Structure 1
Amino acid sequence: MKKPLLGALFAVLLLGAGTAPAVAATSHDAAAPQKTTRAERITAKAVDFAGTVALSNCSGSVVRTAASLPSDPALVLSNGHCMETGFPGPGEVVLGRRSTRSFTLLNSAGSGVGTLRASKIAYGTMTDTDISLYQLTRTYAQIENTYGIKALELNAAHPVQSTAITVVSGYWKRTYSCSVDGFVYRLKEGAWTWKDSVRYTSACQTIGGTSGSPVIDNATGKVVAVNNTGNEDGQQCTDNNPCEVDESGNVTVRQGINYAQETYGIVPCIGAGSQIDLNRTGCTLPKP
């Protein structure tokens, strides 16, 4: 997983806090510049940090659907493996669990402008996908009125290959620009399997602490995925080394390539008042 920070920071002797998986971060600060595709250079809308958050060990974002009301409790999106309760096991779903977790809200420049607090983990899992949704104690309107920051909208459509994207890390206050390289039928990492994952082009060399970062479509400004993992060492299907499995069972390993989990499937599961309703029409998220 890519990654809660504590394990990663122990590995590289950086400063951080929070629960963590045993994963080493690989920094690319000193790496040689990489070529970008034409799609990666075309940015129709400037992507900044407004609406992203920093967790104690990961990144995240305040998100809404097109149907969300200003009076609805706000939601924060991150990874299932970033939850303070630890990694959910295969087949495990967390639903409506009380939480008082705090998040640092960032403005467009990446400065922390305030603290948001959860009332519960509305939903969390590492089965089929790797997501967590926290319901906050404040509404979208309260956040916007207090800080002048709007929530990021979840795109309701499946992402498209070759789309120019930006991964925005609230933890590191850093962005990564690349394109959607393709989609993975099954992405296997250790005990977990994720369906229809997004594979980045090589320019997005995300590091520890970028887990949970929103993946934003540059053209629309909407969230199309949530950053979650990458193959660190070239190993096959082990922790920190996910492998791609196609419909015929063929396995492909791409060392140094990183991945995200699509978020369009979350949209049908969010009902009135930001409530997660797994029985809503079109909702296919795993159930407890």
Structure 2
Amino acid sequence: MRKPLVAALFALVIAGAGVVPAVAAPAPAPAEQASTAQAPHAQPALRAVDFAGTVALSNCSGSVIRMPNSEDDDPALVLSNGHCLETGFPEPGEVIVDQSSTRSFSLLNSAGTKVATLRASKVAYSTMTDTDVTIYQLTRTYAQIKSSYGISALTLSDTHPVAGTAIKVVSGYWKRIYSCNIDGFVYRLKEGGWTWKDSVRYTSACNTIGGTSGSPVIDTSTGKVVAVNNTGNEDGETCTENNPCEVDTSGNVTIHQGINYAEETYQIVPCFGLDNKLDLSRTGCTLPKP
């Protein structure tokens, strides 16, 4: 997985991992304004994607998210990676629900400037099995965040992403936006003891680094979150930590050094119901259960 930054930097000393050195984060890049000009073949207009609604964790990136049917008075949620969980990586097969947490998040505006500190009330859901997600419930509602800071949550798409889609990976930690396309989907992505299903493979332009873990992957035509950034093959090794391998339906293994990946998020939507409460027994919910 794309290591949380503190762990990643420490690993440079003990294992020579190929992540960025311990330097100050670069100055925030101006929010990228996507062109709305129509091409001759009437391609869909692109949405401007910026940092509004993203968050920086102590060692990762994330975003304030809502389901398509979330209400303004629902407690807000933050999405990041399972491997960004403050209590350590969930073990293969482990699923964590309703775990107490007081973790804090730096909320960013469109320019990447911190405007508030948000705080978790609990870990609603976390796992590194089949997918790599942690979802925190916050102490504030969407309406309270909007009223106080003028920031709206990002909406999760409820449909499977499409190959070729233009995307942006928005890192709240580094205040950096990566632009590329969905290159395709991986039947199984294996890294160390963990296996993820139906992962998103980026084209090479999204050269994400340590600290971008948990960044929302945004479809530039809809402005919705379609995946969460989580890993990349750094050293060309096969199926080792920080060097995921692709496994097809026949069991054939391939690697793509320098290529990065994300985990789809549409399957999260059916698992949250009234008042943004997690219910893993809801119709259509396929997330792993404890």
Q: TM-score, normalised by structure 1?
A: 0.90
Identical-pair percentage: 72
| Counterparts of 2:66 and 2:283, CA distance in 1 | 18
SS of the residue 1:90 aligns to: coil
Q: What whole-Å deviation, never above 9, does each CA across 1:98-156 have from its counterpart, x for those lacking one? A: 00000000000000000000000000000000000000000000000000000000000
In structure 1, the residue matched to 2:264 is 262
SS at match of 2:118: strand
Q: Does 2:142 correspond to 1:140? A: yes
Whole-angstrom distance in 1 between the partners of 2:90 and 2:287: 15
Please list, as runs of the form range in 1=range in 2, the aligned pairs for 1:1-288 lying within 5 A after superposition.
Answer: 1-10=1-10, 24-26=18-20, 44-288=46-290
Residue correspondences, number: 270
Alignment gaps of 5+ in structure 1: 14-20, 30-37
Cα 1:82/1:23, change in 2 over 3 Å: farther
1:61–1:214 Cα contact (<8 Å) kept = yes
Q: Distance in 2 between matches of 1:62 and 1:125?
A: 18
CA distance in 1, matches of 2:190, 2:130: 10
Q: What is the Cα deviation at residue 91 of structure 1?
A: 0.4
2-structure distance, mates of 1:43, 1:54? 29
Please give the secondary structure, in 2, of the residue aligned with 1:9. helix
Aligned partners of 1:65, 1:260: CA distance in 2, in Å? Answer: 19
Higher deviation after alignment, 269-278 or 259-268: 269-278
What is the CA-CA distance between 1:66 and the residue it aligns to?
1.2
* AA partner of residue 131 (structure 1): V
RMSD of equivalent CA atoms: 1.9
Letter in 2 for 1:81: H
Q: CA deviation at 1:172?
A: 0.3
What is the TM-score with the length of structure 2 in the denominator?
0.90
Deviation track 1:190-229 (CA, whole Å, cap 9, x = no partner) reads 0000000000000000000000000000011000000000
Provide the rounded CA distance (Å) in 2 between the counterparts of 1:166 and 1:202: 13
Q: Mind listing any 5+ residue stretches in structure 2 that lack a counterpart?
A: 27-38
In 1, Cα distance between the equivalents of 2:16 and 2:105?
23
Q: Report if the CA contact (8 A) 2:125-2:135 is conserved.
A: yes
Contact 2:95 2:127 in 1 (8 A): yes
- Please report how far the alpha carbon of residue 3 of structure 1 lies from its aligned counterpart in structure 2 after TM superposition: 2.3
- Given that 2:55 and 2:61 are in contact with CA atoms closer than 8 Å, whether structure 1 keeps it comes out as yes
